[in-house]
Chains A and B, each alone.
Chain A
Amino acid sequence: MRRVPIRDVQFAERSEVRGGTLFVSERELRESVLEDRFIKDVAVKIARPGESKRIVPIKDILEPRAKLDPEQDVFPGVVSEVNYAPGTGTTLVLDGVCVMTSGSLVNFQEGLVDMTGPGAVFSIFSKKNNIVLVIEPAENITRHDHERAVRLAGVRIARYLGALARAVPEYEEIAYPVGDPVELASTFPKLPRIVYVCQTIAQGLLHDNYYYGVNAQGCLPLLMHPTEFMDGAVVSGNCAAPCHKHTTYHLQNNPIVEDLFEEHGKTLNFMGVIAMPVRTAFAEKERICRQAFKLARMLCAEGAIISEDGGGNPEADLMFTTRLFEKNGIKTVLVTDEYAGSDGASPGLADITPEADAVVTNGNGNQRVVLPPMDETIGRLETVERITGGHAGGLNSDGSVDMEIAGIMGSTNELGIENLRTIAI
């Protein structure tokens, strides 16, 4: 992976990277977004760390990436051909830049990012140079079409900007190993074999994820090299509450993958990733959990980290999978967040099992915050009363917002990319 550090973003006539600055051409970006007949118009905005700007409502956030080899591509199967070899070769990253998709509300699950002030403490995206696509959908289209158009626009722009990294000679390079199970087991025979199970919700509008362009609603668990995430194998359908939705950025930069790689070959043997859809009906949950367990067994896993996606019903899958793993000798650690009420006094999970004795929590999404007014809103400020985490009357006349951190993008991220947690007092 080659990370090209980007310290600033500026508008320019032509898109390019020069001297650590990403220059973006509004015209080029607009042309790419407006290729889609489901999109009527788009405005391109820039929000930098420390600026008095509030972005809301945000659907997805992506990191611009590309493959060095022109025969390969990022986001395989989504907007590129499927004759790919993802997870291998050289991935290029514009490090420090994000693409955000915004514009009129598709549904409640869209979030907020403040670039300064107390809200900025809650989100890694407040520390990024953000290129925001404020998208106006074509008239009389369905919500599903609106969501798809916005999602694909984000992917196209992230891919388009990522390709600019090809011409940049300054980068940091990190190598990640890609091995097959036999090779991994024989290279590190004494280290415990670990798999990572990543839940991805597959339940409908703004509750979906896409594996290689296929809606995960129609998928069984997918075994992947950890590096496949880095190339955009899983794209977020802008799923679930803002605080704990895995945006595409979170999946590309999956911190559990990074931190397992950090220990790979030293204290553990990272055997692979199982991406696991989360459906609503019990029969579907059981089918999928058992398949995930089967894949873990085929890799002879001795330990597993299982991360949740969303909250509520995915906890049934989380607990069922944990029971299967633990009863068959695979030690598990769960990564989740909580909804313990604004007073912190409610049980924060919807399902439990005694085998879940090792849990990492990324915070209580119901914590209330008051966000002071910002000089500029990118998007539509009035939506803060309707998005998840907001409430009627939450927007004050001075532009300050009273809401739960549930509405802040990634604030209780269930991949553990932030350092928030709860403690009991």
Chain B
Amino acid sequence: MIIRTVHYVNQFFGRIGGEEKAGIPPLVLDGPVGVGVQIEEEFKGRIRIVKTIVCGDNHAAENIESVSSFVLDEIRSADAGFFIAGPSFGAGRYGTACALFCREASKSLRIPVITAMHPVSPGVDLAKRDLYIVETADSARDMKNALSKIVALGTKILDGSPIGLPAEEGYIPRGIRINVREKERGSKRAVGMLLAKIKGEPFTTELPMPFFDHVPPAPAIENLKTAVIAIGTEGGIVPKGNPDRIEAHNASKWRSYRLSGIDRLAGGEYEVAHGGYDPVAANEDPNRVLPLDAARACQKESEFASLYDSYPVTVGNVTAVRSAEKYGREIGEMLKKDGVDGIVLTST
């Protein structure tokens, strides 16, 4: 079966013009255009490009959401089963558009997609986890190589064949780590790696140091006396019985529990759901991890205006960073919406 395909290109590859045409809104042409003709040819009858969407780079960058829904509508109306964007090589605006439209088409329409760009293109970080991005050089001089890799990998994606490693298939590493079996056990590999390192021979670390995001601290509270303050914790202090079953490890959720009318957390009414520390002291006196008693004392002395009437809690025990980021954002939004000025977060 020939797969109906939609292809996205910028004004330059769509043969409308150069930078002076970068402001043109999206237009739809029937059939393949320019590089699309080559792509269709190299797929050797497997796909047919039924529509080419051309959009100016500036227009796409400035109207990314509306152009995105335009692209999705066109794919839908073309009844397409495959979406190709680019290749965009080192072009930043173009790469961003290709990556985002592919990601949205894959997520919303659940159709196979492929794009290609240079590893430093800003599009890469937007979509590498969600799709295969073929690695290219930074200019169109690499077109021949880019197209043959798009076709080879694209065919595997369409066939649902197993996809090999980035270096084998020519895609940009997606930043996803999967478990595999080695011939030798870990200890043996460690001894081998150490001997190579000492001799100055080449070796490859199995775990390159990950990259951490930097979170800038919020500006200081100017007047604490008028501030609404919250307390919260990743230490897993939950009502007795852990009613929402927050996991002891790699928590799948955070929760918020009521504090209004409570002066201190009574041992026996709260418990530790966290699997990463000795829970005995905090089960005995939960205020040791979530300091409600101290917060109430400060409140009585009017050190701040009021204490927020509930507390956010999760379990921060080998919890995936992506989950933690999500919970942090959601908790922050809740506090902001409720007019909280600051929070004391206790960690374990």
Contact = CB atoms under 8 A, between A and B. Distances in A.
Interface of A: 107-109, 142-144, 192, 194, 203-207, 241, 255-256, 258-260, 262-263, 267-268, 280, 302-305, 311-312, 331-333, 335-336, 338-349, 352-354, 356-367, 385-393, 404-406, 413, 415-425
- Chain A interface mostly helix, strand, loop or mixed? loop
Q: Which of A142, A359, A406 has the most CB of B within 10 A?
A: A359
Interface centre among B182, B194, B197, B247 (most CB of A within 10 A): B194
Contacts of A417: 185-187
Given A391-B247, A421-B186, 7 more contacts: A259-B187, A259-B190, A332-B194, A346-B322, A360-B193, A360-B207, A419-B184
Contacts of B247: 390-392
Contacts of A349: 207, 209-210
Contact of B318 (A143, A204, A311, A361): A311
A421 B182 contact: yes
Interface string B204-226: 01111111100000000000000
B212 to A, nearest CB: 6
Given A144-B280, A267-B195, A338 B177 contact: yes
Contacts of B163: 425
B238 to A, nearest CB: 13
B186 A356 contact: no
A335 B322 contact: no
Contacts of B208: 424
B156 interface: no
A357 B205 contact: yes
Nearest to B175: A345
11 contacts: A107-B279, A268-B195, A280-B277, A333-B190, A341-B250, A342-B320, A345-B175, A388-B249, A419-B183, A419-B185, A425-B166
Q: Name the residue among A192, A303, A358, A393 with the largest chain B CB count within 10 angstroms.
A: A358
Q: Which 4 A-B pairs have the closest CB atoms?
A: A416-B186, A204-B278, A341-B320, A347-B210
B165 A425 contact: yes
Interface in B160-210: 163, 165-166, 173-191, 193-195, 197-198, 203, 205-210
B207 A359 contact: yes
Given A339-B250, A413-B186, A423-B177, A331 B206 contact: no
B303 to A, nearest CB: 27
Given A419-B182, A422-B206, A425-B174, A333 B278 contact: no
B229 to A, nearest CB: 26
Given A340-B177, A416-B189, A348 B207 contact: yes
A333 B248 contact: no
Nearest to A244: B318
A394 to B, nearest CB: 9
Given A312-B317, A388-B249, A425-B165, A360 B179 contact: no
A364 B278 contact: no
Nearest to A305: B190
A303 B196 CA distance: 11
B250 A366 contact: yes
Most buried by B among A203, A361, A387: A361
A41 to B, nearest CB: 24
A345 to B, nearest CB: 5
B268 interface: no
Contact of B252 (A144, A391, A416): A391
Contacts of A425: 163, 165-166, 173-174, 176-178
B197 A347 contact: no
B198 A360 contact: no
A304 to B, nearest CB: 8
A358 B193 contact: yes
Contacts of B210: 347-349, 352
Nearest to A343: B176
B275 interface: yes
A422 B177 contact: yes
A422 to B, nearest CB: 4
B46 interface: no
B321 interface: yes
Contacts of B185: 255, 259, 416-419
A419 B194 CA distance: 18
A391 to B, nearest CB: 5
A347 B248 CA distance: 20
Given A347-B321, A361-B207, A366-B320, A406 B249 contact: yes
A269 to B, nearest CB: 11
A413 B319 CA distance: 18
B206 A421 contact: yes
B300 interface: no
Contacts of B209: 349, 352-354, 356-357
A425 B177 CA distance: 6
A312 B189 contact: no
A422 B99 CA distance: 26
A321 B175 CA distance: 27
B240 interface: no
A33 to B, nearest CB: 24
A353 B174 CA distance: 22
B276 interface: yes
A389 B194 contact: no
Given A303-B197, A312-B318, A354-B209, A256 B277 contact: no
A108 B275 contact: yes
B173 to A, nearest CB: 5
Contacts of A263: 191, 195
B165 A423 contact: yes
B174 A360 contact: no
Contacts of B197: 303, 331, 333, 358
A358 B203 contact: yes
A402 to B, nearest CB: 12
Contacts of A363: 179
A342 B252 CA distance: 11
B212 A347 contact: yes
A344 B176 contact: yes
B319 to A, nearest CB: 8
A206 B206 CA distance: 29
Contacts of B191: 256, 259-260, 262-263, 268, 305
Nearest to A349: B210
